[in-house]
Each structure stands twice: as structure tokens, then as C-alpha cells.
Amino acid sequence: MPASGTFDCHNAPALPFDAAILGAIVVKSVTLHPQKGNPPPRLAETPSGLINSIGIPSPGIDVFIQQILPVYTALGSPVIVSVAGYSANEYAELVAALDGLKSVEAIELNLSCPNIRYHRMPAQDKDLLQECVAMARGATAKPLWAKLSPDVPSVGEMAQAAEVAGADACTVINTTSAMMVNIHTLRPMIGATRGGLSGPALLPIALAAVWDATHHANIPVIGVGGISTVEDVVAVFAAGASAVQIGTASFYDPMAMPRLIGELDRYLKDKGIASIEELKAKIRQSQTPSAEEV
């Protein structure tokens, strides 16, 4: 599935593939009230990565529900709505607004965007994270995913905290805080100074975070961060993920998601593995210590 913020079919031309092949569509984070986002420039390339500081431009939840959500639901895949709040109360209001909509399969709580100005980032504060998740949990019966930050001492402990507060899954990870400097102007290359690093450089960080999360929490983990090849996909499953999201790879290869779906099918066929579930079972078996190792 696409990572939130990387799949825009509302303002974009026609898609180059049938979106119904995707496991789900995760839409760009929506806020309670309209906001413009961060000043340009918003993107800067790095070695093996990309820094973005978009700042979540949003039409607000009401306009989103009325005008944008129907565009995504018409694509034929389950729709996951990502929401971003500035307080636990805002997360609860956002979730409540989506609760009665049959077209929304699940809600991803963006608790970890490094590109907006929080008083405190929920994904970096265990108490605030639990407050946000718990209040959202009280506002809906829909599945809730907590999107976590890599910029903490232990992603696993934050995943465990999200589980205790009522999250049904964790999305691991968001981008990591970063910056680049233009040596000619001697100024930051991003208008907001810092942004979030994504792309291949993030993959090893994401793998460690997924492993940490799956060894602390007993809820599914959706792996995201730097995935661009079928080998990356398999590695993320091997780290413990139940599903994967693709982000930056789709910027330079709009066919990245259907390509990876096809390559994963061929990988499984070549290995004599019938399904993703069988692959996960083999991973679990291979990682179970033998009697000699114990």
C-alpha cells in the first residue's frame, strides 16, 4: 500500500495502473481545520534519500469527507484515512468524524510527522501518545493504526504503549528529522530549515524499528521506510512486518507498487512459496531458536 502523503489521485493526472491491485490506499494526512503547509522550498534530494517538509497542507476534515474521500473510494481498494491532530482532543474529533463512514476501512493516527509544529510530538512522548490513542479509541470502533517515529530511544516501547492504549496496529516508521545546506547560499535547502528524511537511506533504520516493534507489541506492524526493491520487501517481512507501505520509491518510479507486487509474486513462485502467509510462517520458523541454540 502507499505510505500516507505519497499517493495523490485527487490533484494528479490519471493513475498509470489500476489501484484496485493494492492492498489498501492510505491517503495523505488530513487535519481538523484547513491549513496551508510549510513555506517552499519543500523538497531537497540527499545521497540515497529525499528530505521533505510539506507540512501537511489540508482542506480540513469536512471538505475532505465531502470532496476528496469519494475520489479515493472509487478506486476499488480499501481506504485508510490518515489523520493528524495537534492535541488528543483533535485526534478524537477527527476520528469521530470518520467513524460512521462505511467507505473508511481503518484510520491511521499520524502521531509522528516531523514537519509540523507540535507543542510535543505524540510519538516521542509515551504519555501523550497513549492519551491520543486512547481518546481516538473512545471515538470509533474502526481499526486504529498508530504511526510511530524513529526519533525515540525505543520504537518498541512506543509500539507497546500504543497497543496498551487501544491501537490495533502500528505503522513503523515515519521519516526521521534531517536537513541539508546549500553551500552556495550557506542557508538550509528547506524553507522550514528541517524536514523528514525518506528513501533508501532510511531502510536500515526502518528494519531495526520494525524488529523492535514486533518484539515489544502483540499487534500487527506495517513496515515503511526506504523500500524500493523486492529484496527490501522481503527484508521488512523478515523483520516482522505484516504488511508494507511504499513511499519515496513511487516518486521516481510511479509504477513502483505494481512492479513490487509482480516481483514479489515471482519471488514466491521461484521459492516454491504459495502465499505471503506461508512466507511469514517460514520466517517465524527460521527465527525460532533450535534446542542447540537455546
Considering the candidates 9, 113, 132, 170, report the single residue annotated as catalytic.
113
Residue 65, annotated as binding a ligand: no
Instruction: Report which residue type is found at 25.
Output: I
Residue 262, annotated as binding a ligand: no
Residue 58, annotated as binding a ligand: no
Residue 56, annotated as binding a ligand: yes
Residue 225, annotated as binding a ligand: yes
Residue 248, annotated as binding a ligand: yes
Residue 171, annotated as binding a ligand: no
Residue 175, annotated as binding a ligand: yes
Residue 247, annotated as binding a ligand: yes
Q: Tell me whether residue 9 is one of the annotated catalytic residues.
A: no
Residue 29, annotated as binding a ligand: yes
Q: What is the DSSP string of the chain?
A: -BPTTS---SSS---SS-GGGSS-EEPPPB-SS-B--PPSP-EEEETTEEEE-----B--HHHIIIIIHHHHHTTSS-EEEEE--SSHHHHHHHHHHHHT-TTEEEEEEE---TTS--SS-GGG-HHHHHHHHHHHHTT-SS-EEEEE-SSSS-HHHHHHHHHHHT-SEEEE---EEE--EETTTTEESSTTS-EEEESGGGHHHHHHHHHHHHTT-SS-EEEESS--SHHHHHHHHHTT-SEEEB-THHHH-TTHHHHHHHHHHHHHHHHT---HHHHHHHHHHHHSPPTTT-
Binding-site positions for substrate: 28, 52-56, 110, 174-175
Residues annotated in a binding site: 4, 28-29, 52-56, 110, 147, 173-175, 199, 225-226, 247-248
What positions carry a catalytic annotation?
113
Annotated binding residues for FMN, written as ranges, equal 4, 28-29, 110, 147, 173, 199, 225-226, 247-248
